[in-house]
Structures are given as structure tokens and as C-alpha cells.
Amino acid sequence: MSDMLIVFRPEDIEMEAKEFMSTYASYMQGAGLVGKRPDGHTIYPSRTAPVDEDHTAFFDDWVTLADALELNSAVSMDFYTDAWFGRDPKYQTVNARGDAMTHQICPNREEFWQYGAEIVKEIGSYPINEILLFGTGFIRDQFCFCERCRKEFAPLVNQEPERLSYQYLIENPEYHSKWHSWRTDKVMEGIMYLQDAARDADEMVGRATPLKITVEILMDPETGLSEGGKGEYGYDYSRINEITGNLLINLYPWSPILPSKGGKEYSNLIESLYFVKEFERRGGKVSLFRWGVTQMDHVQALKAIADDAGISRVITSFHYPDDYSTRREAAIGNY
């Protein structure tokens, strides 16, 4: 049977953190809280990112009490899904037609990796066990064609930056494969920056057990489940295992209904989770996640999938991201 963790927002809890913990902590296996939102704001007093001042006291009370009660304490942060930075054209990710996205950052930005690393150090200075890292890849295979990406990648496929197109890539399997490899390298480099920052945080506070960085991957039938996700988003499950050792499968993020047990779609899903056993055999840990779970039958369906796939932990939130409709359209809409 899989363990359960809920990632709360302060708005989900209609009481102070102290009252909530005193009432419900004895029923909880862990305490999950949003730390950095998709709008780019933190709910703790960051020195690096913009701050939602309304909830800083709640955050401090929550993590302090979770530590005192010896609960597994996890804090989430959105990485490239950062609308505050997305206002700046310099950081926006762009498709081949030149359409810029304001809700997500181009992953080919070393300065943004450094920014994310500072956030990890700040969150890691609190007495927590784990950071749940959301928004870790490209939007989809058609990204990114910003000026920086064009200049870096075009020479690898014998093309001029301004003439590089998605059609040019998909018409040549060798070039398309290079596109996937190049993008994956960028995504993995960004994750390495954050893992290094977690180690720095451990040294800074003298943490006995290393801070976990658990990396979200999106898995949806609209984007080819686990195999399709590699090319669409820039994932490499083996390298994530080597870098952080912790994976968070965001299940069916763009599809509203999970498949029913016994059907072909369910079998395809379980088959696509083939890599979980190898991931854990090599020492990694895998969790199954889903947004917007508010009904017990949905929890039970998620737990059944986890059990059939050999996944030991289920994580949910009551909410969808505030920019969910924008994300979904960008991920599976027509270009």
C-alpha cells in the first residue's frame, strides 16, 4: 500500500497553521506546502524572489511545527513555470512561429538556473526534508526557438539561426534526434544546478539527512506517456536518477479522467511505467502525483495505479495551478 502526501496552499486551510497541525497532524504521514507559486512569488520571506507577504507567518509556523512533530516535510516550488519572470521577453520561451509564452521560462538560461538554485538554498535553510520541483522541462517538442536557442542549436544541424524551423528538424530524423538530445542536456544541467544548491543548503544548516530534490515529470496520453515525454519535455529518467534520485510522476496532467482498471488504456499506462522498477532498483524513489484531487474515489484510483506500478508514494493537491488552462493549451494545442 502506498503512502500519501497532500501539498496544501494556505488558502486550502481555513485556519492558522498551529490550529491545523494540532487538529490533523496525528492523521498525517507528511506535511506538504507550496513554497513558490507559478506566479513566481514565494510564501516565505525570500531575499531573491517576489514575496506573497500574506502567508509568510503561516509558512514559518507550518515548517516549524512539522519539524517538531517529526513529520516528513515537503515544500514545492515551480521552476521554469514562473509568470513573474515570464513578463520579460528576455526569458520567455518561444515556438518556431515566434509566439512567446508568458507563463514559462526558456530552460536554456544558466542565469535562471542560478536563480532557481538560490530559491533552493533559501527553502533548504528551513527544517524540511524535501523540495518538490515542478515545471522542470520544455513546454513541448516545438520549443524553444528563442534567439539564444536558435544561435546555439542551428550550427549543429547545418542551418542559419534565423532560418531554423521545426519543420526543418522533423523532416530529418538525425536532426530531430539531435534536437531532443540537446534539449535534454539543457534540462539536466538545470536540475544539476538545483541539486548542487541542495547540497550547499545541507552544509549551511548541518542537515543530518540530505535534502531531497524530487523532480516532476509530466506523463499524459496526449504526449505519448513516458516515452513521448522524453522527446516532448527533455526528460532522461536515468540521468534524473543519477542527479537527484527522486522522481515525481505528474499523471495525466492534461487529461481529466484516469483510465479504468482492466481496459486497454489502463494496461498501456501501467506498461509505460516500466522504468519505475529499474529506477528504484538503482536506488531511486518514485512518487505518483495528480492535481486537483478532492474526492476519495479519485484517491483510491491513484493508489491502485501506484500499487500496480510498484510506486510507494502518492502525492496530491486540492488545486490545479492558477494558470492551468494556459499550460494545457500550450502543451497540447495546435501550432
Domains detected in the chain: 3-142+181-332 (3.20.20.80)
- Mark residue 302 as left, alpha or beta (left: phi above 0; alpha: psi -120 to 50; beta: remaining): alpha
Q: Give all strands (DSSP E) within 59-129, no chain letters.
A: 72-78, 92-94, 100-105
Contact 289, 248 (CB under 8 A): yes
pLDDT at 131: 99
Strand partners, 73: 31
Phi, psi of 293 (to 5 degrees): -95, 115
What is the C-alpha to C-alpha distance for residues 77 and 97, in angstroms, rounded to an integer?
30
Q: Point out which residues pair with 36 in neighbouring strands.
A: 42, 77
Q: Using one digit for the tens of pLDDT, what is the confidence trace for 193-222?
A: 999 999 999 999 999 999 999 999 999 999
C-alpha cell at 89: 521577453
**pLDDT at position 154, please?**
98
Looking at residue 29, what is its pLDDT?
A: 86
Instruction: Please answer whether residues 117 and 196 qualify as being in contact, where contact means their C-beta atoms are separated by less than 8 angstroms.
Output: yes
* CA-to-CA separations, 63 to 20, 118, 309, in angstroms, rounded: 12, 19, 31
Q: Residue 333: its pLDDT value, please? A: 85
Q: What is the mean pLDDT of each run of 10 residues along the chain (335 residues)?
A: 90 94 91 98 98 98 97 98 96 95 97 98 98 98 98 98 98 98 99 99 97 99 97 98 99 96 96 96 97 95 96 97 96 82
**Cα separation, 4 vs 10, whole angstroms:** 19
Angle at 324 between CA 240 and CA 284, to 5 degrees: 15
Q: What pLDDT digit, counting tens, does each position of 107-123 carry? A: 999 999 999 999 999 99
CA 265 vs CA 153, 225, 252: distances in Å:
37, 11, 12
CB distance 273 to 311 below 8 Å: yes
Cis-peptide into 146, omega within 30 deg = no
pLDDT for residue 155: 98
- Taking the C-alpha atoms of residue 63 and residue 214, their distance in angstroms, rounded to an integer, is 18
